[in-house]
Amino acid sequence: MPENIQGGKTKKLPQRKCVGCGTIKNKNEFIRVVRSPEDEISIDEKGKKSGRGAYLCKDPECLKKAVKSKRLDRAFKIKVSEEIFEELVAMINIGTDKQ
């Protein structure tokens, strides 16, 4: 197992794939959208909600691709509401303003 400079163990970050562009990155670099066991779709800001998750880059182009090809609908096997897409747009726009 790899060790860091201080001699402790380094933690391996889980990798996830963006449903918009297909890029594989560390899990914490994505926005997680989740379908709960009750079939409710929501945005999971902390990454801890139970249910089926799909990940999107914090990039407006990835969201456009996901919407255009209905990739979130396909990932969850149910229709994702417009409110979720509006929330995602707002989150991505806030994130790009900070950079």
User: What domains are defined for the chain?
Assistant: 15-98 (3.30.1230.10)
d(CA 61, CA 68): 10
Two structure tokens written together for 58: 């914090």
Q: Which ranges in 2-99 belong to alpha helices (H)?
A: 60-68, 71-76, 82-98
Per-residue pLDDT tens over the stretch 85-95: 999 999 988 86
Q: How far is CA 55 from CA 1, 8, 98, in A?
A: 28, 30, 21
Confidence of residue 76 (pLDDT cuts 50, 70, 90): very high
Task: Check pLDDT > 70 for residue 5.
Answer: no
Task: Check pLDDT > 90 for residue 11.
Answer: no
Per-residue pLDDT tens over the stretch 31-68: 999 999 999 999 998 989 999 999 999 999 999 999 99
The arithmetic mean of pLDDT across residues 16-21, rounded, is 95
Q: Which pTM was predicted?
A: 0.82
Task: Check pLDDT > 70 for residue 99.
Answer: no
Closest-CA residue to 56 (of 16, 8, 5, 13): 16
Sign for the CA dihedral angle at 90, 93, 98, 99 comes to positive
